[in-house]
C-alpha cells in the first residue's frame, strides 16, 4: 500500500540509495580497523577493484507530460526537475546545468532541483525565435563516476505559471467531495484558464477563482487525469497535468476455508484474504450474524477460530467487514449452517454391495424421530450425520443402516440399528469391507471309493463359504460327494481348504479329511484319505441348578490359521443337539486339525459363544427376559445382573406377498440392556418409504423372532461394547473370549444368529 507524504514518491532505486548512504557512513570504522590489522600482519590484503560503473540517471520536468529526448519543451520562469538516480555504491550528488552553468544541486533522495530561469532570455532579438538552452542533469556516485542526461528547453518567461496545485501526482482520492485548488499567473495577463478531466472540459475559470471539485463517484476506479491549461494574452499556452487515483471501492475479501451453505460442525479457522488495490486496509471485523466476534486494526494477518459449539444450531451467516483509509467499506457474507455432528462413518473401498438397489444410513432420536439421513453410493468414502439438537449431557440417538435389494420376483430390506449412541462416546465408525456372496457358485461332484456303505455313513462339509454332503437323488443318497463353494464379489477371503467330517453312525466313529479347495477334475475321494488321528470324543455337562432340562446343541468351528480366525473363515467340526442328558454328559467330536477354535452351546434358552475348545460344563445365567411389541414399540422386562447388551431380531421368515410381489425383511437392533426397558423403532425416512416392506412396518405387522440380553467377558458396559466392537466393525469374539445370552425366541429351543456386516 502507498504511503502519504514525501515517502509516496520514493522509487525502489531511491530507497536503495538511502540504504547505501547509511552503509557508507557505518563502513568508516570498519575500514579503519582493517588498516590497523594490516599493520600488524605480515600478509597484505588485496587491493579492491575500483568502481568504474557510472550511475543511472533519468529526469522529468514537473508539468511536462512524458517528453521524448528529441522533443524541445517550453518551460516557464521556474522549473522543477525530478531526478531518478541509482548506483550500486551510492549517489554523492545530483547537479543541474543550463548551457554548462550549474544552476542547482541535491544530495538527498528524492532528488528534486528547482531552478529559477526568469533571468534567461526567451527569444532572440533578431529572429524573434525561442533560444534553445541545454538542460543537463549530472549524477555523481561516491566513487566519482558520472552520468548525465540532457534535454533541450525553450524558456518563455511570458508563459503563464501554474503553481500550488493541491492535487499531487499519484494521489489517491475518493468520494463526492475532493476540492482541488491551484494558482495561475502571467506577467502579461491571462486570456483563459481551463480544467479538463480525462480530456473532457470540466470548467472554464473566468472569475479568477481557481478551485474545482472532483466527484469521483462519477469516475472509474483507477488512474484518472486532471489537466490545467492557461493561456496568456500572447496566446502562450501552459499545461499542468496531474495523474491521480480514484478509489471508491472497499477492500476485496475472500475466504477459502468456507463454501456457501457449508455445514460447520467442528472448530474451523477463518483466515480471510483482505486486500485493497490503492489504499491501506485500516480495519477488519468478523461477525457471526449480527454479533461482532473480533476486530482487527491495521494488520495483514486476519485469523479467528470459529467454534460452532459456542453458537446455536441453524442457518446463519459469517460477515466480514473491511475498511480502507478512504472510508470505503466492504461487507462479505458467507452463509453457513451450524449443526452438531452425531457421527463420522468411514467407508472402505468395496464396502458397497453391487447387488444393492439402495443403501442408506440415518440417525434418529431415541423417540424414533428422524434427525438426518444420507445415501451411500459405490464411491462414498465418508458420511457425516448431524442434528440441530444439542448433543451434550445425556443426549443419545440411534443409528440405522438400511439396504434394499430388488429382483424380478420380489425385494428384500435389511435394517441394522444401534441404539443408545452418545456422540462423545462413539464419534466415529470405521466400517470394514464385509464379504458379499454372489448367486453364482462352484459346484463339484466327486466320486468316492473304498467306503463301506453297509454302515450308516454321513458326510458333513460346511464352512465359511462352502457346504457338502453325499449327493442326493430321488432314490436317496449316492456314493458321490457334492461340494458347493459360493463365489464372493471380489474373490477375497475365500476358503483355501474344505474340511469334510465323516460320521459312521453304525460304529459311532468320526474321521475327517482336508481337501484343497482347488478341486482337480480327476479327484476321487478315497476312504483312506480320512483320518481319526487327533480326533477325540468328549462330553459336556449342563449344570441346571434345579431348572428343567429341555434340550442342548453344540456347534464347534475350527480355523486353520490366525488370519482365518481374525476373518471368521471357519470350518464346521461338529454340530448336533440332544433332548436329554446322557450319563456321561452330552457327547461331541473334536479334532486337532486347527490352530484356533470357536464354539457355541445352547442349553434351553441360554446361549453362549466362546473361543478355544469346549469346557467340561456350562451353567446357564440366572436372567429372565420378556417383552411385548405393539405399534412398533417394545416393552422389555428383564431381570439379572451382568448383562450389558440387548438384541432384537425381526424377520419375515417367509416372504409376504404384497401386490403379487414377494417381500422379505430383516431387522437387527441392539440396545443398552441395563438402562432401557422401552425400545422404539425409528421412523422410516421418506426416501425409504417406497421400499416393499414399508406397508408392513406402517401397519405394525413386523414379525419379532427373538429378543435377548447378553454379556461379554471383559466388556463391563454398553459403551465398552460400542467402542470395542462397533466402532471398528470387529467380530465380538476377537475382542471378548466369552459371550453369554438369555433369549426369548419365537421358536422354542432355537437361537437365531442372523449375523450381518455390523452385528453378530
β-sheet with 633-639: strand ranges across:
624-630, 633-639, 678-680
Q: Which of 717, 750, 712, 506 is nearest to 610 (CA)?
A: 712
At residue 475, the pLDDT reads: 58
Instruction: Of 636, 573, 580, give the one whose Cα is nearest residue 603.
Output: 580
Are 331 and 409 found together in one domain?
no
C-alpha cell at position 116: 529559477
User: What pLDDT sits at residue 722?
Assistant: 98
Inside any domain, residue 43: no
The span from the CA of 596 to the CA of 36, in Å, is 88
Domain end marker among 301, 319, 338? 338
44 is a domain residue = no
Across the beta sheet with 509-516, what order do the strands follow?
Answer: 437-446, 476-488, 466-473, 457-462, 497-504, 509-516
The answer to whether residue 747 sits within a structural domain is no
Give me the pLDDT at residue 374, please: 98
263/292 same-domain check: yes
Query: For residues 395 and 389, what is the distance between their CA atoms, to the nearest angstrom?
Result: 9
Domain boundary among 102, 123, 155: 155
Neighbours of 110 (CB within 10 A): 19
What span, in angstroms and rounded, lies between the C-alpha atoms of 190 and 200?
Answer: 21
Which pLDDT does position 158 carry in this prediction?
77
Count structural domains, the chain: 6
Q: Assign 743 to helix, strand or coil.
A: strand
Could you state, in chain order, the average pLDDT of each consecutive group of 10 residues for the chain (760 residues)?
A: 34 36 36 38 65 93 70 82 93 96 95 92 81 95 94 85 94 96 88 96 92 96 96 83 96 94 96 93 96 89 94 97 95 97 94 86 98 96 97 94 91 97 96 78 92 93 94 72 85 89 96 96 95 98 95 98 95 96 97 98 98 98 97 97 97 93 97 97 97 96 98 97 96 97 95 88
Closest CA to 257 of 192, 201, 304: 304
The last residue of one of the domains, among 279, 313, 338, is 338
Instruction: Say if 745 falls within a structural domain.
Output: no
Question: What residues pair up with 658 in beta bridges, in sequence order?
Answer: 661
Q: Are both 323 and 427 inside the same structural domain?
A: no
Contact by Cβ (8 Å): 39, 130? no
CA atoms of 15 and 19, how far apart (whole Å): 6
Rounded Cα gap, residues 338 and 262, in angstroms: 8
Please tell me whether residues 396 and 476 are part of one structural domain. no
Would residue 740 count as lying in a domain?
Answer: no
Tell whether 639 and 719 lie within a shared domain. Answer: yes
My answer on whether 398 and 520 are in the same domain is no
SS3 per-residue string spanning 340-381: EEEEEEECCCCCCCCCCCEEEEEEEECCCCEEEEEECCCCCC
At 355 the pLDDT is 78
Domain extent, residue 561, equals 535-618
> Is residue 643 located within the same domain as residue 725?
yes
Instruction: Measure Cα distances from 341 to 22, 168, 294 in Å.
Output: 61, 58, 26
Residue 308 lies in a domain: yes
Non-local (6+) Cβ contacts of 692 within 8 A are 406, 410, 411, 412, 413, 658, 661, 663, 665
Distance separating alpha carbons of residues 342 and 365, to the nearest angstrom? 11
Q: In terms of Cα–Cα distance, which of 455, 363, 449 is closest to 402?
A: 363
Residues 141 and 21 in one domain: yes
Q: Indicate whether 46 belongs to any domain.
A: no
Q: Do residues 394 and 424 touch, judged by C-beta distance below 8 A?
A: no
- Cα-Cα-Cα-Cα dihedral sign, residues 615, 619, 623, 627: positive
- The answer to the question of residue 30 being in a domain is yes
627 lies in the same domain as 552 = no
Query: Do the beta carbons of residue 300 and residue 282 sit within 8 Å?
Result: no
409 shares a domain with 372: yes
Question: What pLDDT does residue 71 have?
Answer: 75
Query: Are residues 61 and 144 both part of a single domain?
Result: yes
3-class secondary structure, 588: strand
CB of 484 within 8 A of CB of 466? yes
Which pLDDT value is given to residue 14? Answer: 36
CATH of the domain at 283: 2.60.40.10
Q: Hey, CA dihedral for 72, 74, 79, 82, is it positive or negative? A: negative
Q: Are residues 638 and 678 in the same domain?
A: yes
DSSP string, 184-246: EE-SS-EEEEEEEETTEEEEE--SS--EEE--GGGS-SEEEEEEEEEEETT--EEEEEEEEEE
What is the enclosing helix (H) or strand (E) of 735? Answer: helix 732-735
Amino acid at each position: 500500500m502507498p504511503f502519504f507524504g514525501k515517502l509516496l514518491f520514493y522509487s525502489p532505486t531511491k530507497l536503495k540509495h538511502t540504504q547505501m548512504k547509511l552503509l557508507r557512513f557505518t563502513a568508516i570504522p570498519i575500514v579503519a580497523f582493517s588498516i590497523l590489522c594490516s599493520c600488524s600482519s605480515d600478509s597484505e590484503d588485496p587491493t579492491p577493484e575500483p568502481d568504474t560503473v557510472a550511475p543511472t540517471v533519468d529526469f522529468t520536468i514537473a508539468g511536462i507530460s512524458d517528453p521524448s529526448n528529441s522533443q524541445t519543451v517550453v518551460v516557464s520562469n521556474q522549473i522543477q526537475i525530478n531526478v531518478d538516480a541509482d548506483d550500486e555504491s551510492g549517489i554523492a550528488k545530483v547537479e543541474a546545468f543550463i548551457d554548462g552553468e550549474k544552476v542547482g544541486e541535491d544530495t538527498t533522495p528524492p532528488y528534486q532541483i528547482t531552478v529559477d530561469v526568469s533571468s534567461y532570455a526567451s527569444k532572440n532579438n533578431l529572429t524573434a525565435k525561442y533560444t534553445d538552452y541545454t538542460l543537463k542533469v549530472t549524477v555523481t556516485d561516491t566513487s566519482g563516476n558520472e552520468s548525465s542526461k540532457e534535454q533541450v528547453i525553450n524558456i518563455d518567461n511570458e508563459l503563464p505559471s501554474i503553481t500550488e496545485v493541491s492535487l499531487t501526482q499519484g494521489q489517491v482520492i475518493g468520494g463526492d467531495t475532493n476540492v482541488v485548488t491551484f494558482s495561475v499567473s502571467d506577467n502579461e495577463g491571462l486570456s483563459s484558464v481551463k480544467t479538463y478531466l480525462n480530456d473532457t472540459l470540466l470548467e472554464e475559470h473566468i472569475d479568477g477563482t481557481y478551485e474545482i471539485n472532483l466527484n469521483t463517484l462519477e469516475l472509474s476506479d483507477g488512474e484518472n487525469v486532471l489537466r490545467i491549461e492557461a493561456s496568456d494574452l500572447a496566446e502562450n499556452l501552459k499545461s499542468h497535468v496531474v495523474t491521480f487515483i480514484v478509489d471508491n471501492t472497499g477492500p476485496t475479501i475472500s475466504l477459502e476455508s468456507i463454501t456457501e451453505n457449508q455445514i460447520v460442525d467442528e472448530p474451523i479457522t477463518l483466515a480471510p484474504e483482505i486486500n485493497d488495490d490503492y489504499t491501506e486496509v485500516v480495519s477488519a471485523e468478523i461477525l457471526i450474524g449480527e454479533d461482532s466476534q473480533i476486530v482487527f486494526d491495521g494488520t495483514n494477518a486476519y485469523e479467528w477460530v470459529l467454534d460452532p459449539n459456542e453458537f446455536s444450531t441453524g442457518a446463519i451467516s459469517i460477515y466480514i467487514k473491511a475498511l480502507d483509509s478512504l472510508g470505503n467499506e466492504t461487507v462479505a457474507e458467507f452463509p453457513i449452517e451450524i449443526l452438531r455432528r452425531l457421527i463420522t462413518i468411514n467407508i472402505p473401498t468395496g464396502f458397497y454391495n453391487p447387488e444393492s438397489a439402495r443403501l442408506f444410513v440415518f440417525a434418529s432420536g431415541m423417540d424414533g424421530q428422524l434427525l438426518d439421513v444420507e445415501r451411500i453410493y459405490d464411491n462414498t468414502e465418508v458420511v457425516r450425520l448431524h442434528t440441530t439438537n444439542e448433543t451434550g449431557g445425556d443426549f443419545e440417538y440411534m443409528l440405522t443402516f438400511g439396504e434394499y435389494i430388488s429382483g424380478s420376483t420380489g425385494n428384500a430390506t435389511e435394517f441394522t440399528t444401534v441404539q443408545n449412541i452418545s456422540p462423545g462416546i462413539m464419534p466415529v465408525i470405521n466400517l470394514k469391507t464385509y464379504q458379499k456372496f454372489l448367486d453364482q457358485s462352484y459346484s463339484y461332484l466327486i466320486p468316492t471309493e473304498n467306503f463301506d456303505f453297509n454302515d450308516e455313513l454321513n458326510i458333513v462339509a460346511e464352512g465359511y463359504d462352502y457346504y457338502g454332503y453325499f449327493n442326493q437323488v430321488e432314490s436317496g443318497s449316492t456314493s458321490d460327494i457334492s461340494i458347493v463353494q459360493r463365489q464372493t464379489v471380489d474373490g477375497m477371503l475365500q476358503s483355501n481348504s474344505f474340511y469334510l467330517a465323516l460320521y459312521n453312525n453304525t460304529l459311532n466313529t468320526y474321521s475327517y479329511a482336508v481337501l484343497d479347495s482347488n478341486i482337480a477334475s480327476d479327484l476321487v475321494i478315497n476312504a483312506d484319505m480320512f483320518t481319526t488321528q487327533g480326533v477325540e470324543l468328549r462330553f459336556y455337562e449342563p449344570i441346571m441348578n434345579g431348572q428343567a432340562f429341555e434340550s442342548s446343541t453344540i456347534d464347534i468351528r475350527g480355523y486353520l490359521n490366525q488370519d482365518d480366525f481374525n476373518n471368521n473363515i471357519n470350518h464346521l467340526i461338529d454340530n448336533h443337539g440332544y433332548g436329554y442328558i446322557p450319563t456321561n454328559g452330552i457327547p461331541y467330536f473334536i479334532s486337532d486339525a486347527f490352530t484356533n477354535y470357536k464354539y457355541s452351546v445352547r442349553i434351553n434358552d441360554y446361549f453362549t459363544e466362546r473361543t478355544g475348545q469346549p469346557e467340561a460344563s456350562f451353567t446357564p445365567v440366572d436372567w429372565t427376559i420378556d417383552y411385548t411389541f405393539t405399534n412398533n414399540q417394545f416393552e422389555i422386562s428383564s431381570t439379572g445382573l451382568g448383562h450389558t447388551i440387548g438384541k432384537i431380531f425381526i424377520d419375515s421368515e417367509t416372504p409376504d406377498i404384497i401386490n403379487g410381489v414377494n417381500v422379505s425383511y430383516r431387522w437387527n437392533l441392539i440396545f443398552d440392556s441395563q438402562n432401557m426397558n422401552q425400545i422404539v423403532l425409528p421412523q422410516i425416512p421418506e426416501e425409504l418409504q417406497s421400499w416393499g416392506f414399508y406397508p408392513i412396518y406402517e401397519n405394525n405387522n413386523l414379525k419379532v423372532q427373538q429378543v435377548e440380553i447378553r454379556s461379554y467377558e471383559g466388556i463391563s458396559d454398553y459403551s465398552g461394547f460400542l467402542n470395542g466392537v462397533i466402532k471398528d466393525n470387529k467380530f465380538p469374539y476377537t475382542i471378548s473370549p466369552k459371550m453369554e445370552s438369555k433369549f426369548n425366541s419365537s421358536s422354542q429351543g432355537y437361537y437365531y444368529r442372523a449375523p450381518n456386516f455390523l452385528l453378530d
